[in-house]
Amino acid sequence: MKYVRVEYPEPRLAVVRLNRPDRLNALSATMVADLKTAFGTLHRERGIRAIVLTGEGRGFCSGADLSGDPDHAPDAEDRGPVGHVYRSQEHLSELILAVHECEKPVIAAVHGAAVGGGLALALACDLRVADASARFGSVFIKVGLSSADVGTSYLLPRLVGPTRAAELMLTGRHFDAAEADRYGLLNARTEAGAHVSAALDLARAIATNSEYGVWMTKKGLWSGIGAASLRQQIELENRTQVLGTFTGNMTEAAVAFRERRAPVWRDM
């Protein structure tokens, strides 16, 4: 991959690093393709329990690449104006889905700029950590487009509430890590440079749990956010818990408790 690096700092954890620091990790078509490849692979990588997503250089991600460099989305080249722009839009949106729907919990470790598509990328993650240098912004509206773009209109209101999301999306203003923390967008706010370490701490805490438990918790959490009713979600929960008993891990947890040791989880 040209613009993305995948690292394995320790067993069960992966770090996906946007690696285009000279452009503040702007999302070119090639970088988007690289990220989709990385998350598609990690989605099915059995040994991985949690993923940290971060950026190389001075910032997390400055959003879509507006440089005009000839880098086309798949199936976009040689199309007319509508087809070219539409395929480019789909290409970027598919990345948001790849991150959000990855079976492994994803933790955004943010520093510097996380604006436009960079904000959307952070929102698509399950957890977010930011250091003191982080700056966020739903800035699509500042280029004459709607701030309802690449998942932001779905995710941001669910994370910070519709009233705050309306302000941030309609003004397009930047907001810092302290504000993001107050709005409930962050799981941790760190001093400058400590964001990846804090994200890895969260990843380790997740990785102590069973493969089945982590997998079904992520699925159930986001299903619950979109559920039409409490009854609908409880029906899903009931089936998930019944299925989970057949892993043998609940029995192992009880034995480990009695023996005063950590459980040894069975993989699926």
- Domain assignments of the chain as residue spans, ordered by start: 4-207, 211-258
Which one is the CATH code of 4-207: 3.40.50.300, 3.30.460.80, 3.90.226.10, 3.30.830.10?
Answer: 3.90.226.10
In contact, 266 and 210? CB cutoff 8 Å: yes
- Asked if residues 53 and 106 have their Cβ atoms less than 8 Å apart, the reply is yes
- Judge contact between 129 and 181, C-beta under 8 A: no
- Regions of the chain where pLDDT drops below 70: none
Task: Please check whether residue 150 is in contact with residue 129, taking contact to mean a CB–CB distance below 8 angstroms.
Answer: no
The pLDDT of residue 79: 86
- pTM as predicted: 0.94
Q: What pLDDT sits at residue 73?
A: 80
Q: Quick one: which of 134, 144, 132, 133 has its CA closest to 172? A: 144
Supply the pLDDT for residue 74: 83
Would you list the DSSP string of 49-90? Answer: -EEEEEESTT-SB--B--S--S-PPTTTTT--HHHHHHHHHH
Percentage with pLDDT > 70 across the chain? 100
Distance CA(180)–CA(244), nearest Å, equals 36
Specify burial of residue 262 (Cβ count, 10 A radius: 0-12, 13-18, 19+): exposed
**Which string of b and e fits 98-107 if b means at least 16 CB within 10 Å?**
bbbebebbbb
Would you state the pLDDT for residue 244? 96
Q: Give pLDDT tens digits for 4-28.
A: 999 999 999 999 999 999 999 999 9
Pairing of strands 4-10, 188-190: unpaired
What is residue 83's predicted lDDT score, i.e. its pLDDT?
86
